[in-house]
Structure 1
Amino acid sequence: MNITEKYLETIKSTSEWLTISEWAVKVGEQYPDLLAKAEIEACNQANDTTGVREIAARISSAISRGAYVNDLDIDASERPRKVRYATAEEIKQHEAEEVEDDVAPLRRDEIIKRDLACLTTQESYRITELETLAKLLKQFFSLDFEVDHAQALLNNHAHGKHHPDNLQLLLKIHNGKKNSNNWQRFTIDEQLDYIRVAVRLQGIIASRLSVEMVGEVLESLLERLKKVY
C-alpha cells in the first residue's frame, strides 16, 4: 500500500466530514511511521512547519491532482474545505443532487412568476411591502432579513405558493438552515417578537458596527408590518 492509499485508508474509518488538517492528524495517529518521517522532513524545511502540516499539504496536493476523484465528497462551500470518503455510487448520487440544486433557482423563479400572475393588487402590494421592510431592517439595523416562504416552494412533499399569506421575515442564517423545509408560519405576534429579539441582540454590538439603534424607527417599521402581514 503506497502513501496515497494509506491516506485514503485513514479517511475510510469515519463517515464524518473532515478538514484536511483533521484528516492529516488521523493519518499521524493511524500511521505513526508516516508522521515520524514527516517530522524529520519538516525539520529540514527552511520555513517553520511540522510533520502534520507536511502531511496535510501532501493530502491537499493529492486532491488537487485528482488522486481521490472517485473516492471523496468535497464540500468547498466553506473554508477550510471539508472532505469525506464516499463510494462511487454515493458520489454519483451527490452529483445528481448538486445538479438539482443548481437548477432549483430556475424552478423557483418559474413558480413565483406563475403565482404572481394570479395575485390581486392588494396581495401584490403586501408582498412588495414585506420585501421593502426586509431591506429597511438591513439599512437601519444592519440585519440580513429575507422574505421566506413558510411552506417552501420547492418542498418535495407539500410545496407552498408565492402568496403573502405564506410569507414571513427570517434572518438570512435561519432561512439558510430552513432551506426547502416547511415551517409553521409565524403568527404576527411571533413575527414581531422575533424581529425585536434580533434587533435587541444586534444592539449589544451596535456601537462596534457603527450602527445607530433607533427605537422609533423599529416601531414604525413594525407598525407597517402589522398592516400587511
Structure 2
Amino acid sequence: MQKSLAEFIGTFTLVFLACGAAIIGTGFSGLGQAGIGLPGVALAFGFALIGAAYGIGAISGCHINPAVSFGALIAGRLSVAEFIQYVIAQCLGAIAAAFVLYLIVQGKDGGYTGGFATNGWGGPGGYNMVSAFIFEAVATFIFLVVILGSTHRASHGAIAGLAIGVVLVAIHLVGIGITGTSVNPARSLGPALIDAIRGNGAALSQLWLFIAAPLVGAAVAGFLFRAELLFHRDLPK
C-alpha cells in the first residue's frame, strides 16, 4: 500500500507540475509575460521527476511511469504483482492530476480553449506515425538505460535522481516538436482522457502509440540488463 500510494503521489506530481507547465506556463504571454517556452517545459518535466525521485524513491523506487515499471519487470527487479499495482497507481495518479488541472483552467476568464499537453503526431509538428513511434521507442530505451544503470548496485545511487531528471530534460528538448514527448504511458493517458471530455478526441485515438512504443523501448533496455549485457552481477557494489 505504501508503494502504491507513493507511485500515485509521484505520478500526480509529475503530471500536475510538468503538464501544468505546458498548459499554463506557456500561456503567460497573454498576461504580458514571455512564457516559459519549450526549454521551460522540458525543465519542468526534469525538475518534477528529480523532486519526486528524492521524495519517494526510498519507498517505491519512484517509477511513476508504466514503461519504467515494465523495464524493471523485464530486468528482474520487480514482481508481476508489484508491476500491476504500480501501473494502476500510476494511471490513477496521472488521471487525477489531469483532472485537477482541468478544474484549474476552467476558472480562467473567458474560459480555456488552449491545448491540454496531450501527445500525438501530425499537427503543427508535421511528423508522421512512423517518426513518432521510432522517437518514443528509442527515447524510452535511452531513458531506461539511464534509470536501470544509475540505480544498479554498482552505481552511485545517491545521484541517480539527478541523472534521470537531466536525461528526461534532454529527451523533451528533442521530442516536444515530434510528439509532445511521452516516454510514459500514464503521462499520456491522463491528459488524453481529460481532453476527450473537453471534446477533443484526437489524442485519445492516438494513445495506443504512446503505450506501445514506450513499452517496446523499455523491454529492450530491461532485457539488456537481465541478460547482463550492460552490467554483470559480479560488479562490485
Same fold (TM over 0.5): no
How does the TM-score come out when normalised to structure 1?
A: 0.21
How does the TM-score come out when normalised to structure 2?
A: 0.21
Quick one: higher RCO (CA 8 Å, sep 6+), 1 or 2? Answer: 2
Q: Which has the larger radius of gyration?
A: 1
